Amino acid sequence: FWFLHGFDAEEDLIESLASKSTKERIKAIQKLPETMRKKREIRNKVLKEITEKARHRGAQPSCCTECLQAAAVSFRRFGNTLSECFHLLQIWHKTMKIIGAEFGTNVLSYFVFVKWLLHFNFFSFLINFGFITIPQLLAAEPNNLSFSGLELITGAGYFQQTVLYYGFYTNATISKIENGPSYNMQLAYIFTVGVYFVICFLFLLSSMVKSFHRNFINPQAFSGNASKLLCTWDFNITNEKAVKLKQKNLSTQIKEDLAEVNKEVLNFSVRERVLRIAIHLLAWVASLGTAAAACTGVYFFSINNLELFMKGHGNDLESQAAMLVLPVIASVLNTLIPFFFSWLGHLERFQTPGQHIYVTITRVIILKMSIVGILCYYWLNIVATSESKCWETLVGQDIYRLVLVDFIFCLLGSFFGEFLRRVIGTTVFVSLGLPEFDIGRNVLDLIYAQTLTWIGILFSPLLPGIQMTALLIVFFVKKVSLMRNCQPPRKVWRTAQMMTSFMVLLFCPSLLGVLSVTGVTVWRLKPSEGCGPFRGLSSMYAAVFEWIQILESYTASKWVVWIYHNLITSELFFFILSTIVLIVTYLYWRIIQGRKATTKRLREQLIN
């Protein structure tokens, strides 16, 4: 009887699915709690049922309809197959599960952030390569400089006459066919960079909002720990390794939730509070003083860097190799000082690991952004006004060296900071034990490198490709180092908001600072006279102004001219737009407050 009941239920399901529209039927089959083989069987039975009903009604579909349906099914199957292939090619998918199960969500958030930045730079590389580099390659002249191999480190020599740097790009209108379509390299260059930064701004803002909603105000985050015990297990998992991995992952999540619930609130006496405040103040004075000293050193080495370049006229490779001093010094400071900040954090004895990480992140971001600020001042106020023939290429080479040397030091940090620390902790000083993965230091290394990449896009359009390769290598090096050298955090703690914090730091001060630097470069600085797509202009933005003047003589382009004069260059428009944004933000904030209050009440009801 049970078998007959199951058979009848399946028949009812097939009839129900056959009566639905194609889109609803596909969604319904996808949501069935069955294996893929069973779903395919149900789908075939439903299609057979639909065909038989059509035949009984005498509504035999036409040949054209059958062809279209067959093509749609084939296209859908091809899309599903392609999706499965891409899913298999996600080489980090299994790695993410293992890291989350072994080390918890706090360490996992670092690798999620690396993957996110990798996608970000891949998109940037595609845009720059498609709209800037490929047109230039079509019109490029042969490179007569010799290649020695040292250019891979210095970024000079042979690379000066390649599409890697701003100075190689032409200011002419590219046209391969006589009287055919032409390509204005000036407009392509400035619009590609401008549109890319607008997309970055909107995408990063949208990602922050989604992450904030998911981790701070999503009611599912407050569904209680009982649901995690009773409703989390996926019964479709049958592979033994997958079962063990899922068990570890679930166990780690429960430990994190329990640590969040059972965290101790320590009560200190007045004397202990005063002592702790004094220690915190001394630590902040020491960290800010160290950051100021580091910025001073970087400034003087940057001045020496320019003197070396001007003395060697920037043509011989030896003078370019001597300019590696600046990126090495900057990378040494960015690598060693965070260890000092982490040591200060241990002296302060924070109540939770989260407080320690967030304070360390704040101090390191002050250090790294201060160094980047000093370098930007050096590039925009000293290099741009120097007697260099192509100061934009010089800035691009500096940023190339900084990114490359920072990547090398990142790999060395995994060796000396984690591998040697493991050797010392297991052989010499056994009481130290295995090291823990330093999330704050490693995340800010990524943000620092990404900030340099964004600044360098204007001067070296292919820099995102280099950063993409570096991130891919860093992902696997850090993964191997984590698995072999590090231990899980001694204190288990939940960091649902960690990824949101990373995005906030990447947005401000990183992206907003880069937009300011790019704005000054485009609107205020005079381009070099002898190189680049904007040679001979008073500023890079002057190319847009000249284009608008040309469009004024065409009747069909009057709407573009109107938008430029009444929207883009209008202070009133941006004032009104800013007012609307502030009003919408305030209303959205009030809605969030109401939802948070409702979520709190629902959470209390769930607990009851």
SS (H, E, C) 139-153: HCCCCCCCCCCCHHH
Mean pLDDT across 501-510: 85
CB 423 within 8 A of CB 347: no
Length of the chain: 608
Chain segment 390-419, per-residue pLDDT in tens: 899 989 989 999 999 999 998 888 877 778
184 beta partners: 173
Distance between alpha carbon 40 and the CA centroid of its chain, in Å? 38
Quote the CA–CA distance of 479 and 487 in Å, as a whole number. 13
Could you give the CA distance from residue 415 to residue 397 in angstroms, rounded to a whole number? Answer: 27
The tens digit of pLDDT for each residue in 107-155 reads: 888 888 898 899 889 989 999 999 999 988 888 777 777 777 777 888 8
Task: Say which residue, 510 or 7, is predicted with more confidence.
Answer: 510
Could you report the per-residue pLDDT of 313-361, keeping only the tens digit for each?
445 556 666 778 889 999 999 988 988 888 888 888 777 777 777 888 8
User: Each residue of 536-558: pLDDT tens digit?
Assistant: 899 999 998 888 888 888 888 88
The answer to whether 303 and 296 have CB atoms below 8 angstroms apart is no
In this prediction the pTM is 0.77
CA 141 → CA 148, 168, 242, distances in Å?
Answer: 20, 10, 56
CA 436 to chain centre: 24
Kindly report the average pLDDT of the chain as a whole number. 80
Q: Which helix (H) or strand (E) holds 184?
A: strand 183-184
Which tokens go with 16? 């129900």
Peptide bond into 509 cis (omega under 30): yes
* Identity of the amino acid at 85: C
Angle at 494 between CA 411 and CA 249, to 5 degrees: 80
